[in-house]
Structure 1
Amino acid sequence: MKGVMVTCARGRETQAGKEACDLLSEYAQKLYGDSFNDEPAEQDEDESIEDAIAREVAQAKKTKGGKKFLPLSTGTDCVIFIRAMDIEPSKLCHYVLSDLQKSGSKRTRYCMRFIPVDETSYANMEDIETMSERVFKPYFHAEDQKPTTFKIIPKIRHNDKVERDALLKKLAGMAGQGQNHTVSMDDPEYIILAEVIKSICFMGVVRDYEKLKKYNIQSIFEAAQKSEGNEEEVPEADDVKKDDDEKKVETTTSEAAPEKET
């Protein structure tokens, strides 16, 4: 599955799920136009990530129509997963957050971070490797691929079978395999996000990670408010020139005038 991982305050998972679906649906309509149609569908609020994957595997292929965004429980406090249909999660999240940054509006009450998930797999190294080949291809192994820079940010929660260092080494080797890509800790073009929660690995590749405040909606809003509050009126160029000329005249007059006798 693909979609968006959403973080929120503890106990607000249900509200954040509905809020995220509404916001993502709104922006998907803007991004994809009339071809995007989010029709209502029945939903099992207690359905977990594992149950949803098992159901979709059994179905083999999802029928057309139905809900484009569907909140699913991750079984972890403060984290929910929004399953998405017929969209590119990284592209949509970048579009949403860039617009929120530009407008300076928050638009959310419960959602904190939007983390794009290009694909999910079961949390074992074999399945993660297979998934990574598909996820990395358009970013690092395209036919006309040019050297780029990347950084990997792994996070593991409630799982003692996947080791962080082993995951980091495996993903770095796969991203750079057969290419002249390099790891950049300061200013990478791409960030590989690998989130392991219980038995599922969520993976996405994003751009402008630092610029968009690590895809944190609250941080983007606070930075916009701070920037707006610090803005000062900048004098016009003609006014600056006029002030400088007046100062020069005053200085010249003062230096040329003789002292008045007392």
Structure 2
Amino acid sequence: MADPVQQPPQPSGGKRKGKAQYVQAKRARRCDAGGPRQLEPGLQGILITCNMNERKCVEEAYSLLNEYGDDMYGPEKFTDKDQQPSGSEGEDDDVEAALKKEVGDIKASTEMRLRRFQSMESGANNVVFIRTLGIEPEKLVHHILQDMYKTKKKKTRVILRMLPISGTCKAFLEDMKKYAETFLEPWFKAPNKGTFQIVYKSRNNSHMNREEVIKELAGIVGSLNSENKVDLTNPQYTVVVEIIKAVCCLSVVKDYMLFRKYNLQEVVKSAKDPSQPHPKLGNGKEVKLESDVKLNQNDSSEGKNNQQVVPENNEEPGQTKPKPESQVVNEEGAQPELADQVMGGSKSNENDHS
């Protein structure tokens, strides 16, 4: 009697390996169908912070952006150009030409599937990045905040802040300097000019130096037009620097202070009577902080070349725990965000608690 045929032993972890391959293939198909799925240099979009529920945040973002996007740009539709496959009509009918035509058809089909708004992996917790196509993110977000500020109608539950990102580059100082020299021209290059502040936040990144980045960017703004001046109270423009891992996101926004640092939860709150004293955070530290800012501004006007740092207050709704005056508040679980005033010098006059 012949011996039974023995089955070869199954390698350990085969089921797990098969699942990993399936996930990898699924991600590849999603990438092919809709472009890049992760934040990377060369994109425009909207950076959104949320309160522990990214899935709900994405749903709210799509609803809000489509509502106002349709209002500003009309209903989304594809153009005839998007539907035309690439490739010339006079190509020889050989294998190479047929392959090129097939690649062109796939590329054209992919372009047709790209939507006006597309959620992508940001690389940080409680942060969502919505890639945009065919719109100007800074104008759209400003329009949203302007309407919410005027109507005081709350339209989101988990979205905290919504920051337009007009450009992204590699988060290395030389790359950022080279990119910013061109990026900042529309707002600050002569004859254009304006008052400005720089707001900086870094997430999941340890190689960038906050003071060095702010100094370099402020120097670029000053070199574009010597009449550009720093204003921490009510600047015309706020240069937003958001660094996530190895990607630097940049934008220049208006009405940053008026719209409560682009916080959708705060902007719908009723404005307080200006004749009343400023609200206190438990023990009046906010009032004292504002006084210190004014004092620092007066000190800088005496001809000293100093760098001033103003800690931004925590914007999460419902938090009233008092903070020490010198403590920088950690927003949404990330590294501290600071609005820095650079007065053309290399020395700093600040309390660094990063």
State the TM-score, normalizing by the size of structure 1.
0.71
Q: CA deviation at 1:26?
A: 1.4
Residue 165 of structure 1: aligned partner: 211
Give the alignment partner of residue 196 of structure 2, picking from 150, 155, 168. 150
Q: CA deviation at 1:138?
A: 1.1
Contact 2:151 2:268 in 1 (8 A): no
1:74-97 C-alpha deviation (Å, 9 max, x unpaired): 221111111111111111100000
Q: CA deviation at 1:214?
A: 0.6
Amino acid at match of 2:215: K
Question: How do 1:74-113 residues align onto structure 2 when only pairs under 5 Å count?
Answer: 74-113=122-161
Question: How do 1:36-47 residues align onto structure 2 when only pairs under 5 Å count?
Answer: 36-37=76-77
Residue 243 of structure 1: aligned partner: none
Contact 2:205 2:245 in 1 (8 A): yes
Give the alignment partner of residue 249 of structure 2, picking from 179, 186, 202. 202
1:212-251 C-alpha deviation (Å, 9 max, x unpaired): 1110010012236x78xxxxxxxxxxxxxxxxxxxxxxxx
Q: CA deviation at 1:161?
A: 1.0
Residue 138 of structure 1: aligned partner: 186
Contact 1:25 1:38 in 2 (8 A): no
1:88-126 C-alpha deviation (Å, 9 max, x unpaired): 111110000000111111111221110110111111112
> Is it true that 1:191 corresponds to 2:238 in the alignment?
yes
Give the alignment partner of residue 173 of structure 2, picking from 122, 125, 129. 125
The 1-side partners of 2:203 and 2:134 are apart by 28
What secondary structure does 1:219 align onto?
coil
The 1-side partners of 2:239 and 2:49 are apart by 18
The 2-side partners of 1:184 and 1:105 are apart by 30
State the TM-score, normalizing by the size of structure 2.
0.54
Sort the Cα spacing of 1:109 and 1:141 in 2 relative to 1 into closer, same or farther, 3 A.
Answer: same
Contact 2:186 2:192 in 1 (8 A): no
- Structure 2: any 5+ residue segments left out of the alignment? 1-42, 80-106, 274-354
Give the alignment partner of residue 70 of structure 2, picking from 24, 29, 42. 29
Sort the Cα spacing of 1:176 and 1:37 in 2 relative to 1 into closer, same or farther, 3 A.
Answer: farther
What secondary structure does 1:129 align onto?
helix
Amino acid at match of 1:85: L
Amino acid at match of 1:152: I
The 2-side partners of 1:78 and 1:220 are apart by 20
Q: CA deviation at 1:65?
A: 5.9
Residue 111 of structure 2: aligned partner: 63
What secondary structure does 1:154 align onto?
strand
The 1-side partners of 2:124 and 2:193 are apart by 38
> Is it true that 1:18 corresponds to 2:53 in the alignment?
no
Amino acid at match of 1:3: G
The 2-side partners of 1:151 and 1:162 are apart by 19
**Segments ≥4 residues shifted beyond 4 Å:** none
Give the alignment partner of residue 267 of structure 2, picking from 202, 207, 220. 220
1:185-225 C-alpha deviation (Å, 9 max, x unpaired): 2221100000111111111100001111110010012236x
Contact 1:16 1:110 in 2 (8 A): yes
Count of aligned positions:
202
Contact 2:78 2:112 in 1 (8 A): no
Contact 1:38 1:66 in 2 (8 A): no
Contact 2:48 2:159 in 1 (8 A): yes
- Root-mean-square deviation (CA, aligned residues, Å) is 2.3
The 1-side partners of 2:77 and 2:67 are apart by 10
Sort the Cα spacing of 1:4 and 1:178 in 2 relative to 1 into closer, same or farther, 3 A.
Answer: closer
Contact 1:29 1:37 in 2 (8 A): no
Amino acid at match of 1:223: S
The percentage of counterpart residues that share the same residue type is: 34
Contact 1:119 1:131 in 2 (8 A): no
